[in-house]
Amino acid sequence: MSDHQAGSYYLPEPSGWPIVGSAAVALLTSGLVMWSNHIASGGWVILAGLLVLFYMMFGWFGTVIAESESGKYDQQVDRSFRWGMSWFIFSEVMFFAAFFGALFYMRVLSVPWLGEGDTNAMLWEGFKATWPTAGPLGAENIGFGKEVAAGANQFSPMEALGIPAINTLILLTSGVTLTVAHWGLKKGNRGQLNLWLALTVLLGVVFLGLQAYEYHHAYTKMGLTLGAGAYGATFFMLTGFHGLHVTIGTIMLAVILVRCLKGHFKPESHFAFEAVSWYWHFVDVVWLGLFVFVYWL
């Protein structure tokens, strides 16, 4: 490492935040176990876990921000953050890959198999393999251990035009506004930075609002639910996890906005800003995949 300064790599003091994080995870996961098994007070345990988690994040990130602002991080630390964030995003890509894989497997393989040959003749005669589908036994009536009533395959799939297309436009625009904000930061034009960053946050919020509306519509008007077979499961899990990521991204952008308003970041060093914008662009790209493979095709 040619530009490595001897002994300058910042090594933090012992820290209590990680163990707080572990406590949060312990609460959160046991709460989720209780809640999904209908054990009373599971919800409260989840809430407690979330509170501790937020406390930990405030404290931990607060420490990091203070260290960063007081100039403790040198170039090598900056490079570590870059590597770390890149690999984290790669892990996120693989997480979505699992769900996209499930979608492709169902569409290309398992649903067609159900519509042909012995399987079809012996189990579900008359089932036509089409996409979208809720499977041979139809929406809402299936799920492990449930009584089954055949032929209730009634839901409407989500059209690509309409809200999804608008949301695509919103996310693509937000990528542009974020870049304009970044230019402002690099030029030292704080007004441009703050304005366009605020705009990006706003677009994120609008996206989420529209998606919430879309979900509500799906559940109340279209019969499209998590239980709507192969289509419902992949639709909600993919768009749901994406929505979760947009939520996280929007929160991160909002934090960055607050920091910008406080005068943090310098034109030549502002990795936190860049990290969040990498994340935002990643979320954007995932959405394009969703738009093409979940909504459109």
Partner 1 sequence: MEATHAQDHGHGHPTGLMRWITTTNHKDIGTLYLWFAFIMLLAGGCLALLIRAELFQPGMQVVTPEFFNQLTTLHGLIMVFGAIMPAMVGFANWQVPMMIGAPDMAFPRMNNWSFWLLPVAAIMLVSSFFVPGGASAGGWTMYPPLFLQGGISNDMTIFAVHILGISSIMGAINIVTTILNMRAPGMTMMKMPLFVWTWLITAYLLIAVMPVLAGTVTMLLTDRHFGTNFFNAAGGGDPVMFQHIFWFFGHPEVYIMILPAFGIVSQVIPAFARKPLFGYASMVYATGSIAILSFIVWAHHMFTTGMPTSAQLFFMYATMLIAVPTGVKVFNWVATMWRGSMTFETPMLFAIGFVCLFTIGGFTGLVLAITPVDIQLQDTYYVVAHFHYVLVSGSLYAIFAGVYFWLPKWTGRMYDEKLGKLHFWLSTIFFNILFFPMHFLGLAGMPRRIPDYALQFADFNALATIGAFGFGLSQLILLVVVLKCIKSGAKAADHTWEGADSLEWTHLSSPPPYHSFVTPPVVK
Residue 106 near partner 1 by CB under 8 A:
yes
The one segment of 85-93, 203-211, 213-221, 267-275 that binds partner 1 by CB under 8 A: 85-93
Binders in 149-178 for partner 1, by CB under 8 A: none
- Of the candidates 40, 91, 125, 191, which one interacts with partner 1 according to CB under 8 A? 91
Does residue 285 interact with partner 1 by CB under 8 A?
no
Residue of 43, 62, 101, 162 that binds partner 1 (CB under 8 A): 101
Rounded to 10 degrees, the C-alpha dihedral 185/187/193/197 comes to -60
Q: Any contact of residue 278 with partner 1 (CB under 8 A)?
A: no
> Out of 44, 87, 183, 296, which residue is the one contacting partner 1 (CB under 8 A)?
87
Q: What gap in Å lies between CA 19 and CA 40, rounded to an integer? A: 27
CA angle 47, 48, 52 (to 5 degrees): 115
In the three-class reduction of DSSP (H, G, I as helix; E, B as strand; rest coil), residue 142 is classed as coil
- Taking residues 23 to 62 in sequence order and writing x for each that binds partner 1 by CB under 8 A, - otherwise, the string is --xx--xx-xx--xx----------------------x--
- How many other C-beta atoms lie within 10 A of the C-beta of residue 4? 12
Applying CB under 8 A, among 61, 80, 173, 192 the residue interacting with partner 1 is 80
Give the SS3 label for residue 223.
coil
Can you tell me which of 55, 57, 61, 88 binds partner 1, judged by CB under 8 A? 88
Which string of x and - marks every residue 227-266 that binds partner 1 (by CB under 8 A)?
x-xxxxx--xx-----------------------------
**Cα atoms in the 13 Å half-sphere on the side-chain side of 156:** 10
Instruction: List residues bridging with 228 in a β-sheet.
Output: none
Q: Is 268 exposed, middle or buried (0-12, 13-18, 19+ CB in 10 A)?
A: exposed
